[in-house]
């Protein structure tokens, strides 16, 4: 299993540009998450999904959109990039056991995004 795969690893955007951060997992996990990590801050939840076709907002959803058309893929879209979106983005997934709400998380390697 490849686990959770994120692309790209690095990206520089100009203000107002748009892009999609890709996330795919091959572990048949129902739960998938997008987090951002700013220097000196804890991970903040942007959006999450409990299964294909279902998404919900996290703590910091403004400026982002997601979709979950398949179990494997959970892309994160930035429509009009702003400097405040400069951050490191992590995708994660968790196991679909009956108690999956309490299952360990599997993280992608992160995407370092700079908006100038």
Give the separation between CA 63 and CA 85, rounded to whole angstroms.
8
* Shortest distance, position 30 Cβ to another protein, whole Å: 10
User: What residue ranges bind another protein (CB under 8 A)?
Assistant: 31, 33, 35, 40-45, 48, 50, 58-59, 88, 90, 92, 101-107, 109-110, 112
Nearer to another protein, 46 or 81 (CB): 46
Give the separation between CA 88 and CA 86, rounded to whole angstroms.
7
Nearer to another protein, 16 or 53 (CB): 53
Residue closest to 60 by CA, chosen among 50, 47, 49 = 47
Backbone phi and psi for residue 22, each to the nearest 5 degrees, phi listed first: -95, 145
* Shortest distance, position 80 Cβ to another protein, whole Å: 26
Neighbours of 8 (CB within 10 A): 12
* Shortest distance, position 101 Cβ to another protein, whole Å: 6
Nearer to another protein, 10 or 16 (CB): 10
Nearer to another protein, 14 or 99 (CB): 99
């Amino acid at each position: 299993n490849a686990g959770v795969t994120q692309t790209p690893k690095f990206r520089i955007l100009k203000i107002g540009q748009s892009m999609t951060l890709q996330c795919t997992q091959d572990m048949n996990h129902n739960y998938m998450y997008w987090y951002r990590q700013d220097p000196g801050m804890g991970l903040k939840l942007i959006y999450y999904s409990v299964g294909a076709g279902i998404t919900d907002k996290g703590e910091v959803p403004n400026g982002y959109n997601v979709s979950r058309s398949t179990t494997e893929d959970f892309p994160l879209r930035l429509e009009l990039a702003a400097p405040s979106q400069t951050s490191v983005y992590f995708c994660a997934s968790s196991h679909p056991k009956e108690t999956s709400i309490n299952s360990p998380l599997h993280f992608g390697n992160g995407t370092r995004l700079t908006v100038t």
